[in-house]
């Protein structure tokens, strides 16, 4: 969905995500943001693994585009709310603390 011309979500295979990670900087900023937002939306719907979202976040580490950072902020905010809810119903505080540390590393590097 280059340029985000169509109103669709794109599910990438784990192999495609791995290949995209290697050359993510060659992709336009709007498409880098869409890559993350698509993965997040599909993970929220239970149609893709959450690990894909984390891998894309790692690949975008150090990105300088405000478009990409808007997407990163939205995804981290959504994941933070999810982690808060999950930790409230029994997940260990360690999992939540690890997520917060991960988010801080991404934001402080960016």
d(CA 41, CA 48): 9
57-66: per-residue pLDDT in tens? 988 888 899 9
Per-residue exposure over 36-47, b if at least 16 CB sit within 10 Å of its own CB, e if not:
bbbbbbbbeeee
C-alpha angle 68-45-52 in degrees, rounded to nearest 5: 50
33-63: per-residue pLDDT in tens? 988 999 999 888 888 888 888 888 988 888 8
Which of helix, strand or coil describes residue 50? Answer: helix
* 60-to-10, 17, 45, 53, 78 alpha-carbon distances in Å: 18, 12, 22, 11, 17
């Amino acid at each position: 969905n280059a340029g985000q011309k169509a109103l669709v979500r794109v599910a990438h295979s784990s192999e495609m995500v791995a290949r995209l990670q290697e050359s993510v900087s060659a992709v336009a900023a709007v498409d880098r943001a869409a890559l993350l937002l698509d993965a997040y939306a599909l993970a929220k719907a239970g149609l893709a693994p959450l690990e894909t979202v984390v891998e894309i976040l790692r690949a975008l580490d150090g990105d300088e585009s405000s478009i990409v950072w808007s997407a990163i902020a939205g995804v981290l905010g959504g994941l933070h709310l999810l982690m808060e809810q999950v930790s409230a119903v029994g997940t260990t505080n360690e999992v939540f603390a690890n997520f917060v540390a991960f988010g801080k590393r991404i934001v402080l590097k960016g």
